[in-house]
């Protein structure tokens, strides 16, 4: 899917975004996974409240600010942990 050079840059960026979200939400997004697509960042996971979902969005936006105008898409479910 990715060429080696591109993948070597994508993984650290995904990890950086994840770290920012974990820090902003105090680790309250379960199953957190970040995917970088061509024009956007997709954040996956689940959380117990909409407040934490909003914090995750803010963390992701902070992490990508100034980087190629990437849009952030949230795929974070809100509800009790199963």
Q: Which CATH number belongs to the domain containing residue 55 in this structure?
A: 3.30.70
Q: Where are the beta strands (DSSP E) in 1-82?
A: 30-36, 40-47, 71-78
The percentage of the chain sitting over the pLDDT mark of 70, rounded to a whole number, equals 83
Domains of the chain: total: 1
Q: What is the DSSP letter of 30?
A: E
Tokens representing 36?
A: 């970088």
- What's the mean pLDDT in 27-39? 93
Q: Residue 52's closest CA among 23, 80, 29, 77?
A: 29
Give residue 70's domain range: 4-78
Q: How far apart are CA 50 and CA 69, in angstroms?
A: 25
pLDDT digits (tens, 9 = 90+) for 41-80: 999 999 999 999 999 999 999 998 876 667 899 999 999 8
Q: How far apart are CA 34 and CA 80, in angstroms?
A: 21
pTM (2 decimals)? 0.81
């Amino acid at each position: 899917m990715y060429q080696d050079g591109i993948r070597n840059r994508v993984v650290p960026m995904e990890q950086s975004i994840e770290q920012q979200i974990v820090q902003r939400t105090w680790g309250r997004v379960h199953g957190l996974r970040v995917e970088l697509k061509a024009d956007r960042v997709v954040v996956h996971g689940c959380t117990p409240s909409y407040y934490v979902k909003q914090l995750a969005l803010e963390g992701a936006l902070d992490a990508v600010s100034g980087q190629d105008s990437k849009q952030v898409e949230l795929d974070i479910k809100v509800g009790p942990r199963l």
